Structure 1
Amino acid sequence: MQTRRMLATTAIAALLAVVPFSGLRAESLRADDRAYFANAAAEQSARDALGRQLEALQHAAGIAPAERFRQAEVMEAQCLRHHGYLHLQAARNARDHRPAQALDQVMGLCSRIARTGRAVLREAPADAAWAAPYGFLRARALKDAAAPANAELDEAVDALADPALDSFARLRGQILRTAVYPQIERGGRRWDTGRDRQALAQQPDRTLREAGWKGYWQGLQSRREPMASVLLGLVQVNDAAARLQGEGPAPARGYQHMGLDAPTVDVTLLAIEHHAGDRRAYQDILLRHAARTGIDSPQLWDTTVPDAGYTPPVLTLAQLRDTAADAMQHLGPAYVAELRALLDPGNRRMDLATERGERSQDAFPVNAPDAPAMLFVGMRSGDLESDVEIAHEAGHALHGEWMQRGHASPLQRNGSPWLTEAFAIYSELRFRDQLYQQAQDPRAKAYYLKSLLDDMVMQLFTSSEEAQLEQSIYQGAAAGTLGTADDLDALTGQVLARFGQQPERYPQLRNSWMAKRLMYEDPNYLVNYLYAGLLAVQLYVQDQHDPEGFRQRYLAVLGEGFDRAPQAQVAQLLGRAPDWPALVDADLKVFNQMAVQLQALHARIEQGEGA
């Protein structure tokens, strides 16, 4: 998610303090996508031509393998351009299904092109010089070709399971849209505890925060029975499909696709669990500070607001750009220049709005070989988390730019999601750190340092409990111990307690299985964030201890694409083979040191500094 730094800190801080939220209205942007295609008709025409080219290549005879592979690379690059363009069009108007349908077609086309390229590699002699740079891709192609014992069975299972899983995901969304969230009338405004959850958490009025927190969980609970049916049905279908295809339980299949295995994941989760006390200690720090600043018997909903008298500034887009660029200065002028160009409003490479309208509430980079990277942000709210989202997606976009600089093969631009996410999460950690470093008022420094610590909690602890919860649900469904919403509540409470949460004090948290969107929309993906977060925090640490060595390692891996196993790339990034439990300990050591820094800031604030 993000990055940054600034000149003349005091003057800029004063400027930011007076930027009104309403000023964002003038900063909606529409990306100039003509660098991809002149218009929708041109894209359609080029897409049809690309389909014909693929058909011709697949049926052509007498083409040397090296040339056949080169043509597949060229076509994949073109296909990625179509994908980026259509993804952007579909997100601009979520009600118009035509770009989304075209995007589905393009994804199928890109997949067929990639299969054509892999087939050429499989058939190439082991000593073919032209194939040497694609050794990892060739090894994967050979493994995939050898794996299926019954290809027809696999296709039949996918044909049945995939539409069912998609239906379950859609059904979840439909059910949640019928949830009944309490409405709050306060100060002439009507609040919806579901839609306005984040805004309510930031309100100075304590009773409003509490009502917002409890109302959100009350709304979720109103749909717990049908949600349980959806989740357990989805789990049964997904797990049965994995077992029928000979890949074992669905979670184990997910780990294998990550380049990991179940024992590795289990030992990593256990290592995080051993640090549950660190999470509880951090929560106690926040609650004690709330008590010492005048809140009687503080609760969770009292830890989400800045210190009294401090209002976080709203960044203009130019200020966001400068901050993000300053945060990544250690990666060198070339990286910073690319980042500034991406985030410069004048370059029209960002597509964002300050009102939702018909836009998708998604955020993503738009990348393709030989085309400028762009960003789509469904809605920028102007708060810190919205800007962190932009910095995160900018990290993804710069990854694509660096692969282009490194001449990565279009067929090797997509790889392990957890490694891809690590780069973007590292960017967001740097972005938060930059705001913390440049702040002067102790209340501002505490606000941004807390945001950095909260991010680490999410990456390390929340990701662990999500991975453990999903794994446990699959295990419970297979064992026949889960059948009701009550069962899911009880299991969720057990998992949360293992990772430092307090479901006995806040029983509403046991309903959080309903809020894990990716468990429904992308089963067994959540565990990717655990490893992405572990690696991202360590990257954040290493860039401070060895800035020059880190810069060289990071940019080298960033530019090569996914031409090696993810574990090998991680070993280069860290300078050693990854030992995940040791990485957990190292990350939590840094986390605890930063928590001590936050305590010191709290002491200054409690003594009246910054008031």
Structure 2
Amino acid sequence: MAAPMPTPTASAIPRTIQCTRRDTRLKYGIAMNCEIRSRAVAVSSSLSANGVRWDLSDLEPDAEQARREWDELLARARDFAERRRGTVGSSGPQGLRDLLDELDQLAQDVARVHFYATAREHTDATDPETNDLATLARDRGADLESMLLFVELEWLALDDVEAGALLEAAELEPYVHRLRVAREEKPYILSEGEEQALNARRPAISAWESLHGRELATLTVEFDRGDGPEPHTIDRLLSYVHHHDRELRLAALDVLYEMLESVADVQAACYDAIVGDRLSLDRLRGIPDTMWPTNQRNELDGAVVEAMMAAVEAHYALGRRWFVRKAEVLGLDRLQLADQYAPVGSDRRVEWTEAVGMVEDSLSDFEPRLGEIFRTCLERGHVDAEPRPGKVGGAYCNSVSKTVLPYVLLNYTDQLRDVVTLAHEFGHAVHGTLALERQTYRSYHTGIALAEVPSTFAQLLAVERLIDQEEDPSTRVMLLADRAEGAMASIFRQTMMARFEARAYAARSEGKALTRDRLAEMWIEENVRYYADSIELPEGYRLGWSYIPHFIHVRFYTYAYAFAHLAAFSLLARYREDPERFAPGYLEFLASGASRSPHDLLAPLGVDLRDPQTWALAFAEFDRCIGEAEEGVAAL
């Protein structure tokens, strides 16, 4: 077979995109025929988080050492496979425990070296050494997975009687839940040779994912927000939808959609390739439902997920009610999309040091240990908050291993809602830290739906604190409105995205290509189901699907946000009822990781996922938030 063609790095491809605007004089925006270049530039010297960047030395000292470690990891994996192959079902409970402990340590070392490459790729996408290292990580990761695949396959090959006897052994208690869940995949697993062949083509799919992210991360535009042109990333343009100046909001979205025009065909091609690959694998394995892989990883029954999403859609009118009221407050006949998150009341700038203090206090007041984790991560340089070209948008947390504290990435733009993002990501960080202290590496990480519950709960705690302590009545109204709108974004918009994905997968399974126009049509139709006539959607918003990374990395990821926000609403209501009684049980929930099912983990806290009334109670809390926002704007 021919050797694969090397993938050019972003920095090797000079890219200039022409961007035009209508011939009118604007207060904000860009000049006609401006150039958008993908070279690395400073975003703004005025942002307070400038210089807040990751220190990756807890992962690796440099790329050369990372390359050496990949070689060492491959050697360890080969040795492990030679010694352990054929012993999963024959070595007894203690032998299997020893095998899993050794595999657990190997997996942590792989995660550390792999995240070093990912972290560099996500913060400096145009650096040639970084791109080479990311390519190596994808290739070596696939090699290692193929070498170690036999463990899972041998476990699944055991008959139910043999497996059941091992699951009853005390020696395997730390792993028993994950082992039990893994056997749910047994009907869909292929032979070892077939599974290895499928793993071997994974780097090619990862390259599509990297291309999608790199196209967005390297895209900048000279945009004038009123005080002179400055280079803007997508994230910085999106931050203006929260600005008080309507003309700036409209101009920023106008420019954003023009930027997306230049990459929409590439983004559609990436998504088409990734969805097509996933559907091909589903057919090979005999998986009947495109949502099953995500539901299974989340340990949620499909009926529970569908009941939750149907309940969300049944409450879309809550969002529309607020949008109509907000239009009245803003003096508009109807909101445009750029007005959806326009501040009601008075916003204020929050510099990075103030945000750090707010989040630390919020976590420490709930439990001092949580504040300690937050402070230590900051002191060790495990937070990257500076927005800059070449850095991925959005925010995330990676809990690397039992010996390395989590790393948090966000793009801090000095707004109050950025404080909420910081709290959200550290909800993940404290969850990961406490779970890794007690659980094995294999058993600490929950599915994405449950993983979003602690982060959303931490976010809600921070917002409640901000509201309670805010002295300015107008700013307090802004916080009330922002809390309601944040919930709408997490619950309503993320469910809408999941429905969009379902349509995309259905179309692709029928042999229809996911072109930019087909995706745009489905995107607008699903948005209209949510917004109806409460918000006017601009023509450019047809490309709103093209910058959503969740579609690329994990199918149907977005419903996890709706699930988590509704679950967190229920938890917050119970916390308010009796804080002292709630806190110990919640800490136990965090430390339990993925040692039990989501149902069993949430039940002691009063959330029954199998009871449809659970969603009704959560929406009552949601309605309370919207009602408080409505009362707030009425008092302005």
- TM interval, short-chain normalised: 0.7 to 0.9
Instruction: Please give the alpha-carbon distance, in whole angstroms, between the structure 1 residues aligned to 2:55 and 2:338.
Output: 38
CA deviation after TM superposition for structure 1 residue 435, in Å: 1.4
Residue from 313, 334, 338 that aligns with 2:369: 334
Contact 1:364/1:393 (CA < 8 Å) preserved in 2? yes
Contact 2:215/2:263 (CA < 8 Å) preserved in 1? yes
CA deviation after TM superposition for structure 1 residue 82, in Å: 5.0
Say which is worse superposed, 146-155 or 210-219, in terms of deviation.
146-155
Contact 1:224/1:485 (CA < 8 Å) preserved in 2? yes
CA deviation after TM superposition for structure 1 residue 176, in Å: 6.2
Alignment CA distance shift 1:584-1:86 (3 Å)? same
**Cα-to-partner distance string for 1:353-405 (whole Å, 9 max, x where unaligned):** 53526555564445355425143436433323433332222222211221233
Contact 1:460/1:534 (CA < 8 Å) preserved in 2? yes
CA deviation after TM superposition for structure 1 residue 163, in Å: 5.2
Residue from 448, 460, 463 that aligns with 1:432: 463
The unaligned stretches of length 5 or more in structure 1 are 1-19, 606-611
Alignment CA distance shift 1:340-1:232 (3 Å)? closer
Q: Are residues 1:398 and 2:435 paired? A: no
CA deviation after TM superposition for structure 1 residue 408, in Å: 0.6
Q: Are residues 1:31 and 2:55 paired? A: yes
**Cα-to-partner distance string for 1:180-201 (whole Å, 9 max, x where unaligned):** 9896684543676956422433
Matches within 5 A, 1:32-51: 33-34=57-58, 48-51=71-74
Alignment CA distance shift 1:251-1:60 (3 Å)? closer
Residue from 58, 78, 81 that aligns with 2:81: 58
Contact 2:323/2:335 (CA < 8 Å) preserved in 1? no
Amino acid in the other structure paired with 1:442: P
Contact 2:174/2:439 (CA < 8 Å) preserved in 1? no
Matches within 5 A, 1:469-480: 469-479=500-510
Amino acid in the other structure paired with 2:78: E
Aligned to 1:259: 299
CA deviation after TM superposition for structure 1 residue 49, in Å: 4.6
Matches within 5 A, 1:265-414: 265-291=305-331, 299-306=336-343, 310-317=346-353, 319-329=354-364, 331-343=366-378, 347-352=379-384, 354=386, 356=388, 359-361=391-393, 363-377=395-409, 379-405=411-437, 407-414=438-445
Aligned to 2:189: 148
**Cα-to-partner distance string for 1:193-215 (whole Å, 9 max, x where unaligned):** 95642243344443232222333
Q: Percent identity?
A: 20
Amino acid in the other structure paired with 1:213: L
Contact 2:396/2:410 (CA < 8 Å) preserved in 1? no
CA deviation after TM superposition for structure 1 residue 247, in Å: 0.6
Instruction: Please give the alpha-carbon distance, in whole angstroms, between the structure 1 residues aligned to 2:149 and 2:440.
Output: 11
CA deviation after TM superposition for structure 1 residue 315, in Å: 3.1
Residue from 486, 502, 506 that aligns with 1:455: 486
Aligned to 2:176: 135
Matches within 5 A, 1:490-505: 490-502=521-533, 505=536
Amino acid in the other structure paired with 2:55: A
**Cα-to-partner distance string for 1:575-606 (whole Å, 9 max, x where unaligned):** 3531464333222222221222222222332x
Q: Are residues 1:582 and 2:604 paired? A: no
Contact 1:86/1:99 (CA < 8 Å) preserved in 2? no
Q: Are residues 1:421 and 2:452 paired? A: yes
Give the secondary structure class of the aligned counterpart of 1:24.
coil
Q: Are residues 1:445 and 2:476 paired? A: yes
Instruction: Please give the alpha-carbon distance, in whole angstroms, between the structure 2 residues aligned to 1:220 and 1:212.
Output: 12
Instruction: Please give the alpha-carbon distance, in whole angstroms, between the structure 2 residues aligned to 1:180 and 1:311.
Output: 26
Larger relative contact order (Cα-Cα within 8 Å, sequence gap ≥ 6) = 1
Amino acid in the other structure paired with 1:382: D
**Cα-to-partner distance string for 1:475-497 (whole Å, 9 max, x where unaligned):** 23334677765544443333223
Contact 2:52/2:384 (CA < 8 Å) preserved in 1? yes
CA deviation after TM superposition for structure 1 residue 411, in Å: 1.9
Alignment CA distance shift 1:491-1:306 (3 Å)? closer
Give the secondary structure class of the aligned counterpart of 1:435.
helix
Alignment CA distance shift 1:364-1:460 (3 Å)? closer
Amino acid in the other structure paired with 1:80: Q
Say which is worse superposed, 142-151 or 449-458, in terms of deviation.
142-151
Aligned to 1:9: none
Alignment CA distance shift 1:186-1:495 (3 Å)? same
Instruction: Please give the alpha-carbon distance, in whole angstroms, between the structure 2 residues aligned to 1:109 and 1:42.
Output: 18
Amino acid in the other structure paired with 1:375: Y
Could you say what the CA RMSD is over the residues aligned between the two structures, in angstroms?
A: 3.9
CA deviation after TM superposition for structure 1 residue 140, in Å: 3.1
Contact 1:225/1:484 (CA < 8 Å) preserved in 2? yes
Contact 1:81/1:368 (CA < 8 Å) preserved in 2? no
Instruction: Please give the alpha-carbon distance, in whole angstroms, between the structure 1 residues aligned to 2:260 and 2:175.
Output: 48
CA deviation after TM superposition for structure 1 residue 135, in Å: 2.3
Amino acid in the other structure paired with 1:323: M
Instruction: Please give the alpha-carbon distance, in whole angstroms, between the structure 2 residues aligned to 1:168 and 1:219.
Output: 20
Q: Are residues 1:240 and 2:280 paired? A: yes
Give the secondary structure class of the aligned counterpart of 1:371.
coil
Instruction: Please give the alpha-carbon distance, in whole angstroms, between the structure 1 residues aligned to 2:269 and 2:62.
Output: 44
Amino acid in the other structure paired with 1:493: I
Say which is worse superposed, 237-246 or 116-125, in terms of deviation.
116-125
Alignment CA distance shift 1:316-1:137 (3 Å)? closer
User: TM-score, normalized by length of structure 1?
Assistant: 0.80
Aligned to 2:597: 565
CA deviation after TM superposition for structure 1 residue 337, in Å: 3.0
Alignment CA distance shift 1:537-1:138 (3 Å)? same
Instruction: Please give the alpha-carbon distance, in whole angstroms, between the structure 1 residues aligned to 2:417 and 2:267.
Output: 28
Say which is worse superposed, 176-185 or 389-398, in terms of deviation.
176-185
CA deviation after TM superposition for structure 1 residue 470, in Å: 0.7
Contact 2:337/2:538 (CA < 8 Å) preserved in 1? no
Instruction: Please give the alpha-carbon distance, in whole angstroms, between the structure 2 residues aligned to 1:483 and 1:340.
Output: 45
Instruction: Please give the alpha-carbon distance, in whole angstroms, between the structure 1 residues aligned to 2:285 and 2:204.
Output: 16
Contact 1:306/1:447 (CA < 8 Å) preserved in 2? yes
Give the secondary structure class of the aligned counterpart of 2:536.
coil
Say which is worse superposed, 80-89 or 596-605, in terms of deviation.
80-89
Contact 1:165/1:234 (CA < 8 Å) preserved in 2? yes
Aligned to 2:131: 97
Instruction: Please give the alpha-carbon distance, in whole angstroms, between the structure 1 residues aligned to 2:72 and 2:185.
Output: 29
Matches within 5 A, 1:2-21: none
Alignment CA distance shift 1:452-1:81 (3 Å)? farther
Aligned to 1:215: 255
Give the secondary structure class of the aligned counterpart of 2:593.
coil
The unaligned stretches of length 5 or more in structure 2 are 1-43
Amino acid in the other structure paired with 2:177: F
Matches within 5 A, 1:221-236: 221=261, 228=268, 230-236=270-276
CA deviation after TM superposition for structure 1 residue 146, in Å: 5.3
Give the secondary structure class of the aligned counterpart of 2:306.
helix
CA deviation after TM superposition for structure 1 residue 325, in Å: 2.9
Aligned to 2:8: none
Aligned to 1:12: none
Contact 2:47/2:414 (CA < 8 Å) preserved in 1? no
CA deviation after TM superposition for structure 1 residue 167, in Å: 4.9
User: TM-score, normalized by length of structure 2?
Assistant: 0.78
Alignment CA distance shift 1:335-1:450 (3 Å)? same
Instruction: Please give the alpha-carbon distance, in whole angstroms, between the structure 2 residues aligned to 1:596 and 1:241.
Output: 46
Instruction: Please give the alpha-carbon distance, in whole angstroms, between the structure 2 residues aligned to 1:340 and 1:193.
Output: 29
**Cα-to-partner distance string for 1:395-448 (whole Å, 9 max, x where unaligned):** 22211221233x211221223111112211221222222212210111111122
Amino acid in the other structure paired with 1:212: A
Instruction: Please give the alpha-carbon distance, in whole angstroms, between the structure 2 residues aligned to 1:90 and 1:527.
Output: 25
Amino acid in the other structure paired with 1:448: L
Contact 1:76/1:114 (CA < 8 Å) preserved in 2? no
Residue from 548, 556, 574 that aligns with 2:588: 556
Instruction: Please give the alpha-carbon distance, in whole angstroms, between the structure 1 residues aligned to 2:47 and 2:612.
Output: 47
